[in-house]
Amino acid sequence: MKELHHFGIPTKVRQAKETYLAGAKVFVTDVADSPNKIEWLRFEAGSPMPELLQTTAHIAYQVDDMPAALKGKQVLVEPFHPMDGVTVAFIVEEGAPIELMHVAN
């Protein structure tokens, strides 16, 4: 299963209720607070995340099986755990970053 989860948009503007992800050096907003499923991302200087992700909007899909979803894909960011119970990876399709998310039940 691949289900649309949110749209991620890089910004340089501080947003209300940002959460800081230290490992990625990025501030993110909670998709649940957006009626349009938007996650705002504000990257700090020196963020280890790829430039494509820092400068281009992405689409995020929730997937049931991360290894299967990554098979044969151009991986931009290997799977990581931004919070407990959540695995995230980024691939590139059609020149754009695509986020794949798996949430443990």
Per the prediction, the chain carries an average pLDDT of 96
According to DSSP, residue 17 is labeled T
Residue 53: predicted pLDDT: 97
pTM for the structure as a whole = 0.93
Cα separation, 33 vs 35, whole angstroms: 7
Sign of the torsion formed by the C-alpha atoms of 10, 12, 14 and 19: positive
Reported as a pLDDT band with limits 50, 70 and 90, residue 74 is very high
Sequence-ordered list of residues with C-beta below 8 angstroms from that of 42, at least 6 positions apart, any chain: 10, 11, 12, 13, 14, 15, 18, 26, 27, 28
State both tokens at 37.
Answer: 């499923």
- The domain locations on the chain are 2-103
CATH 1.10.645.10 fits 2-103, yes or no: no
